[in-house]
Amino acid sequence: MSHTVVSPARIGRSSLGALGVLALALGALQTVVEPALPLLQRELGVSPAEGALVGNALLITGAVLTPVAGKLGDRYGGKRVLMWLMAAVSAGGLLAGFAPNLPVLLLGQILQGAMVGALPLSFILVRKHLTTGASQAAIGVVVALFTGGGMVGTAIAGPIAEALSWHGMFVVPTVVIIAATVVVARLMPHDPPIDAEGGIDWPGAVLLSGALLALMIGLVTVTSGGLSPLAIGAIAVLAAALATGWVAVERKAVSPMVDLRMLAKPVMRNSWVLTLVITVSSGMVVFLLPQLFAVDANGYGFAASTTTIGLFLLPGALAGAFSDSVGGIAARRFGPRAVVIVGAVVTAATMLGLAALHTAAWQLVLAKMLTAVAAGVATTALLASTATAVEAEDTGIATSLLVVTRVIGVALGAQIGGAILAAGGDALTDQPAESAFVLGFAVSGLVAASALLVVRSTKKGIKA
């Protein structure tokens, strides 16, 4: 295996600045959908369950690409692969920006999901071209700007949609992405590929993406009533077959995208189950709150515009960013078990309380903040503790499994929330009934509370 040493001096502030702007724009493009989902559902004439697919399509692509992005960067060069991914993201953003209907918008979102792989590739570039200390600082800046971009996207979605139309929400960040990509291509030095060990698990990637898409589509069709029970059963069988095939491929692959053998270790298995439970509950919150903000104020809604919804969600985004930064510290000081218990109790109590009382906007804003902090601290604590509990050579495998689980959990939770609202729709108003929101909040709270049962039954595996 040969390595070419590149002088740290070859990468300057302009290159890092371009990477930072790119991360900021990517974060914005990823989050413009969250406050605008009710608007998109009205404009496209789709149900909440179908609307949930818009955000989940991006997450599914991200879940599949994240484990392989680093391998692709090592094999072909980080800069080259980053340019490939940005081409896909740019095409997806423009496709979504001019989408005439839901299928085209979903295709655009699927392509945009390639953005999730941009972060590990950015890390590869700064590691290869900077000293250790400088690369750590640069990575922190890129992550912070990506997170900050998410807040920007939440805030600008409404004003852009009102000024230009919902198509502009995708076009404006995409134009910035294209410009930043051009600058990165010109200023960032090429990094030489290395002889990466093992191949790329393309069969595993295809099977996982197919299984997730079939699962999401199945949740939509169950609540839409547009298909016969036989057709719904066929989709369920397809999803199960694809998932089974993925497990079989991962167990036999020389270089699997997700090494499922890690789940044989108690600390890994327990962290995986808890991460999935926490993020499913969190995903339901992420989907349900904007929907309730947008419902006409006929006794239980707020008739909020996309701009207002974005402002209501912004404190929660800030709280979530804060929680991600302190999760590891909390795990080290109090132990992951204590952090998970507190997070589960806070989330369960908040959502069950919201099911009973949701008549004022501040109640929803506060609920979003509390659940964002609880979920962020708990999942980050699990990630940090697992990274230090497994063998050093297994760190990458273990953390990638948990990162993928976080993405899948949020997507699954959002789709479940959409299915509940679609099933509880009011035929007269063509909007979800208040009882559907009550049920959704209660289910989210109960899912979070189930983490306490997992902790109790597996407490030996998640000690500090």
The answer to which of 56-60, 132-136, 182-186 has the lowest mean pLDDT is 132-136
**Greatest mean pLDDT range, 140-149, 174-183, 387-396, 397-406:** 174-183
What pLDDT was estimated at residue 145?
84
Main-chain phi, psi angles of 172, to 5 degrees: -60, -55
Tell me whether residue 356 is exposed, middle or buried, using C-beta atoms within 10 angstroms of its C-beta: 0 to 12, 13 to 18, 19 or more. exposed
Helices then strands, counting H and E runs in the chain, come out as 16, 2
pLDDT digits (tens, 9 = 90+) for 56-73: 888 888 878 877 777 787
Share of the chain above pLDDT 70, in %: 90
| Residue range 72-81, pLDDT digits in tens | 877 788 888 8
Instruction: Please report the pLDDT score of residue 288 as a whole number.
Output: 96
Which of 5-14, 152-161, 415-424, 440-449 is least confident?
Answer: 5-14
Residue 214 in this model has a pLDDT that exceeds 90: no
What is the per-residue pLDDT for 192?
75
Per-residue pLDDT at 54 exceeds 50: yes
Those residues with Cβ within 8 angstroms of residue 118's Cβ, 6 or more apart along the chain or in another chain? 22, 23, 26, 69, 82, 85, 86, 89
Q: What distance in Å separates the CA atoms of residue 341 and residue 456, rounded to the nearest whole number?
A: 10
What pLDDT is stored for residue 211 in this prediction?
Answer: 86
Query: Residue 6's pLDDT is what?
Result: 43
The least confident of 31-40, 58-67, 286-295 is: 58-67
Tell me, what's the pLDDT at 169? 95
Helices (H), 77-131: 78-97, 102-112, 118-129
Q: How many other C-beta atoms lie within 10 A of the C-beta of residue 276?
A: 21
* pLDDT exceeds cutoff 60 at 7: no
Q: What residues contact 261, with CB distance under 8 A and at least 6 apart?
A: 251
pLDDT of residue 223: 61
